[in-house]
C-alpha cells in the first residue's frame, strides 16, 4: 500500500491536500486542506494509536496485546504525545 | 506494529522491565529477595546496605530477610521521590516498587557464590593477617583461589544489579539520558546512606532484645554450634571471658569496652553496652553467679561461653575473641545446661 507523503521532498515543509476525488462519480474538488494532525506521525506510531483506540484506551490491555510491560506502553504513548505537541508547536510557529 | 526489541535474550538480561513490571515484577522480586535471604543465612552473607555484601555473623534468618527488604524499600522510596521531581508525566508507584525488587535478583547469585566454606575460611585468614601482622597463618591456596573468584563474581553481579536498578528507574519513571543518569546516581548514594541508617536503627535494637550483640555484619563470625571443646584455644582465654563478665557485673563498661577490637569499639560503644546489660538484667533478674566456662572454636575465632545464673534464668554469655585475643562479638543465648 502506498504511503501518504506528509512532508515536502524538496524543502521538508508540511504538505496539504490540494485535490480530492470521489471514488464513486469521479467528481473532483480543488482547494487547500491541511492534513489531520495524526498524519504527521510515522506509520508505526499511527498503528499504535489505532490499536490503543481499539483497546478502549487501556494501557494495561495494550501491554497484554503487545506482550510488553505497562510502563513500556505508557512511555511509548508519552513519546507520541510529545511528537504531536512538537508538530503542533511547529505548525503554529510557521503560521 | 512491533514494540518488541530485536534481541529478546539480551533485553531480558539487561532490561527485563521492557517486558515485566508492576505486580508481576513485584512477585518475582519478592521471591528473589526471599531466596537471597535464605542463601545469605546459609552462607552468613549479609546484604547490609543497598550496595553492600559482607560475610558476617550467623544470626536468626529473619535478620537476613529484613536486610534485603530494607535495602529494596530504601532504594524504591528514594527513586519514587526523585521520580516525582524528574518525571514530567505520571507513573505508578507499583512499577517502581516491583521493578526495584526484581532488579535485586542478582543478589541470589551473590548468595550462591558466597556459599562455599572456602570464602569464609580465607576471609578469616585475611582478618588474622590484618589484625596480627606478625602472625603467619597457613594460607590454603585453593581457598584463596575460590575466594578470589567469588569476589570477582560478586563485583560483577553487583554492577549488573546497579545497571538493572538504573533501567528500572528509567523505564518506570520514563526518565532518559543525562538527567536519568545524574538523578539515579544521586538516588543511589542517598539510598545507600538511608539503608545503612535504617539497618542500624531498626536491627541493632532488635538484636539487643534477643542477642547481646553488635549489628550482624560487624560482628565477625560469631561461633554458633561446635559442641566439642577445643584444644587449640590460646591459654588464658577462658579467664579473659570470665574477667569480661566480671567487668559487666561490676558495671565497669569502660573497662569492658577497652577489650573490644576496633570494629566492636566503633559499633558497640560504652553507652550501648550499658543499655544492653541493663536491659538484660531487667529481663533476666539480678546477676547471681557464674556457674561454668567453656571455650569453643570455629574458623579461627574462639568463643568463651560463660554460664551465668540470674534470678529468673540461666544464660550463656558468649564472648567471641579474635586471634589477637580481642573481643569481636558478644551474645547471650539460653544456657545448654538449663
Mean pLDDT computed over A23-39 = 93
Rounded to the nearest 10°, the torsion over CA B27, B28, B29, B33 is 100
Q: Which of these three, B145, B176, B209, is where a domain ends?
A: B209
Is the same domain home to B54 and B193?
yes
* Digit-coded pLDDT (tens) for B237-278: 888 888 888 889 888 888 888 888 877 877 777 888 888 888
- Determine, yes or no, domain membership for B215: no
Residue position matching grid coordinates 535485586: B104
- Predicted local distance difference test score (pLDDT) of residue B337: 53
- For residues B166 and B301, membership in a common domain is answered with no
Report in angstroms the alpha-carbon separations of B329 from B44, B45, B46, B56, B209.
15, 17, 16, 11, 16
Looking up cell 560483577 gives: B156
Indicate whether B17 and B92 sit together in one domain. Answer: yes
Mean pLDDT score of chain B:
83
* Structure confidence at residue B222 (pLDDT): 36
Identify whether residues B90 and B142 lie together within a single domain: yes
CB contact under 8 A, B174 and A48: no
Average of pLDDT values for B185-210? Answer: 83
Query: Which residue in B has a C-alpha nearest to residue A48's C-alpha?
Result: B1
What are B277's three cell numbers?
A: 546489660
Residue with the bigger pLDDT between B208 and B101: it is B101
Tell me which range, B123-127, B175-179, B198-202, B331-335, is most confidently predicted by mean pLDDT: B175-179
| Span B300-327, pLDDT tens digits | 678 888 888 888 788 888 888 877 788 8
Q: Give the nearest partner residue to A70 out of B1, B2, B22, using CB atoms.
A: B22
- Cβ-in-10-Å burial (0-12, 13-18, 19+) of B236 comes to exposed
- The number of folded domains in chain B is 2
Please give the residue of chain B at the shortest CA–CA distance from A75: B174
User: B134 or B239: whose pLDDT is higher?
Assistant: B239
Among B209, B244, B276, which residue terminates a domain? Answer: B209
Interchain pair B18, A67: CB under 8 A: no
Q: Do B305 and B275 sit in the same domain of this protein?
A: yes
Give B-chain residues touching A76 at CB under 8 angstroms. Answer: 3
For position B94, what pLDDT does the model report?
97
Are residues B31 and B136 located together in one domain of the fold? yes
Q: Clarify whether residues B49 and B194 are in a common domain.
A: yes
**Residues 153-192, chain B, touching A (beta carbon < 8 A):** 171-172, 174
B64-96 in b/e burial notation, b at 16+ Cβ within 10 A? bbbbbebbbbbbbbbbbebbeebbeeebbebbb
User: Which position has the higher pLDDT, B133 or B312?
Assistant: B312
Q: Looking at the predicted structure, is the pLDDT value of residue A29 above 60? A: yes
The CATH number of the domain holding residue B283 is 3.10.450.590
- The confidence score (pLDDT) of residue B139 equals 74
Give me the phi and psi of B276, to 5 degrees please.
Answer: -60, -45
Q: What is the mean pLDDT of residues B90-113?
A: 96
CB-based contact A71 B19, cutoff 8 Å: no
For B209-229, how does the pLDDT look when each residue is reduced to its tens digit (9 = 90+)? 444 444 333 333 333 333 334
Confidence of residue B2 (pLDDT cuts 50, 70, 90): low
The position carrying cell 545503612 is B196
As a whole number of angstroms, the longest Cα–Cα distance in chain B is: 80
Please give the pLDDT value at position B221.
36
CA distances from B266 to B3, B107, B178, B259, B326 (A): 53, 28, 39, 12, 14
Residue scoring higher pLDDT (A61 or A40): A61
Q: Cα distance from B82 to chain A (closest Cα, Å)?
A: 17
Enclosing domain of residue B247 = 220-334
Higher-pLDDT residue of B230 and B335 is: B335
- Beta-carbon pairs below 8 A across chains A and B: 52
Least confident of B22-36, B97-111, B117-131: B117-131
Which pLDDT score, from 0 to 100, does residue B209 have?
Answer: 44
Residue B202 shares a structural domain with residue B230: no
**Predicted pLDDT at B136:** 66
pLDDT for A73 equals 97
Domain boundary among B209, B241, B275: B209
Angle (CA) B158-B120-B159 rounded to 5° is: 5
Name residue A16's beta-bridge partners. A34
Q: pLDDT tens digits, residue range A71-87? A: 999 999 999 999 999 98
| Least confident interval from A78-82, A84-88, B177-181, B332-336 | B332-336
B207, B66 in Cβ contact below 8 A?
A: no
Extended beta strands in chain B, E state: 45-46, 54-55, 287-298, 301-310, 314-321, 327-334
**Residue B172 placed within a domain:** yes
Which of B87-96, B228-237, B255-264 has the weakest average pLDDT? B228-237
What phi and psi values does residue A61 have, to the nearest 5 degrees? -65, -40
The percentage of residues in chain A with a pLDDT greater than 90, rounded to a whole number, is: 67
- Measured CA to CA, the distance from residue A71 to residue B17 in angstroms comes to 8
- Residue B30 pLDDT greater than 70, yes or no: yes
Chain-centroid distance, C-alpha A19: 20
B43 and B139 housed in the same domain: yes
Query: Would B261 be classed as within a structural domain?
Result: yes
**What's the mean pLDDT in B151-160?**
96
Which chain A residues contact residue B17 at CB under 8 A?
Answer: 69, 71-72
pLDDT of B157 strictly over 70: yes
pLDDT at B137 over 70: no
Percent of chain B residues past pLDDT 70, beyond the cut:
83
Note the pLDDT of residue B227: 36
Q: Helices B270-284 and B177-210, interaxial angle, to 10°?
A: 40
> Is residue B202 pLDDT above 60, yes or no?
yes
> Is residue B214 a part of any domain in this protein?
no
**Judgement on whether residues B130 and B11 belong to the same structural domain of the protein:** yes
The per-residue pLDDT for B164 is 98
The answer to whether residues B80 and B31 belong to one domain is: yes
Alpha-carbon distance of B105 to B17, in angstroms, equals 13
Same domain membership, residue B34 and residue B141: yes
What is the chain A residue with the closest CA to B25?
A69
Q: Does residue B325 lie within any of the structural domains?
A: yes
Amino acid at each position: 500500500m502506498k504511503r501518504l507523503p506528509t512532508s515536502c521532498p524538496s524543502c521538508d515543509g508540511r504538505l496539504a491536500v490540494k485535490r480530492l476525488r470521489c471514488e464513486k462519480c469521479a467528481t473532483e474538488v480543488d482547494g487547500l486542506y491541511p492534513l489531520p494532525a495524526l498524519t504527521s506521525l510515522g506509520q508505526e506510531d499511527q498503528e499504535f494509536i489505532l490499536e490503543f483506540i481499539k483497546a478502549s484506551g487501556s494501557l494495561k490491555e495494550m501491554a497484554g496485546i503487545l506482550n510488553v510491560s505497562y510502563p513500556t506502553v505508557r512511555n511509548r504513548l508519552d513519546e507520541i504525545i510529545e511528537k504531536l505537541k512538537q508538530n503542533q508547536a511547529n505548525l503554529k510557529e510557521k503560521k | 506494529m512491533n514494540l518488541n526489541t530485536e534481541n529478546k535474550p539480551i533485553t531480558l538480561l539487561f532490561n527485563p522491565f521492557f517486558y515485566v513490571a508492576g505486580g508481576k515484577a513485584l512477585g518475582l522480586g519478592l521471591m528473589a529477595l526471599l531466596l537471597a535471604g535464605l542463601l545469605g543465612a546459609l552462607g552468613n552473607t549479609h546484604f547490609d546496605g543497598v550496595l553492600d555484601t559482607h560475610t558476617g555473623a550467623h544470626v536468626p534468618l529473619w535478620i537476613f530477610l529484613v536486610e534485603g527488604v530494607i535495602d529494596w524499600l530504601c532504594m524504591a522510596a528514594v527513586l519514587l521521590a526523585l521520580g516525582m521531581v524528574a518525571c514530567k508525566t505520571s507513573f505508578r508507584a507499583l512499577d517502581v516498587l516491583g521493578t526495584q525488587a526484581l532488579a535485586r535478583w542478582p543478589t541470589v547469585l551473590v548468595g550462591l557464590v558466597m556459599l562455599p566454606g572456602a570464602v569464609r575460611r580465607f576471609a578469616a585468614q585475611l582478618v588474622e593477617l590484618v589484625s596480627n601482622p606478625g602472625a603467619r597463618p597457613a594460607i590454603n591456596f585453593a581457598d584463596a583461589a575460590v575466594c578470589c573468584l567469588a569476589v570477582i563474581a560478586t563485583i560483577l553481579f553487583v554492577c549488573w544489579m546497579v545497571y538493572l536498578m538504573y533501567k528500572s528507574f528509567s523505564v518506570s519513571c520514563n526518565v532518559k539520558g543525562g538527567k536519568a543518569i545524574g538523578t539515579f546516581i544521586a538516588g543511589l548514594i542517598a539510598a545507600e546512606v538511608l539503608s545503612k541508617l535504617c539497618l542500624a536503627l531498626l536491627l541493632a535494637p532488635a538484636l539487643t532484645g534477643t542477642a547481646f550483640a553488635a549489628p550482624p555484619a560487624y560482628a565477625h563470625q560469631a561461633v554458633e554450634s561446635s559442641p566439642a571443646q577445643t584444644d587449640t584455644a590460646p591459654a588464658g582465654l577462658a579467664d579473659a571471658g570470665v574477667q569480661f563478665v566480671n567487668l559487666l557485673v561490676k558495671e565497669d563498661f569502660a573497662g569492658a569496652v577497652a577489650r573490644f577490637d576496633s570494629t566492636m569499639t566503633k559499633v558497640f560503644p560504652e553507652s550501648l553496652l550499658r543499655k544492653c546489660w541493663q536491659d538484660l538484667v531487667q529481663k533476666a533478674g539480678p546477676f547471681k553467679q557464674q556457674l561454668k566456662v567453656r571455650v569453643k572454636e570455629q574458623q579461627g575465632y574462639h568463643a568463651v561461653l560463660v554460664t551465668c545464673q540470674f534470678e529468673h534464668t540461666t544464660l550463656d554469655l558468649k564472648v567471641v575473641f579474635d586471634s589477637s585475643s580481642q573481643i569481636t562479638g558478644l551474645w547471650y543465648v539460653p544456657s545448654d545446661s538449663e
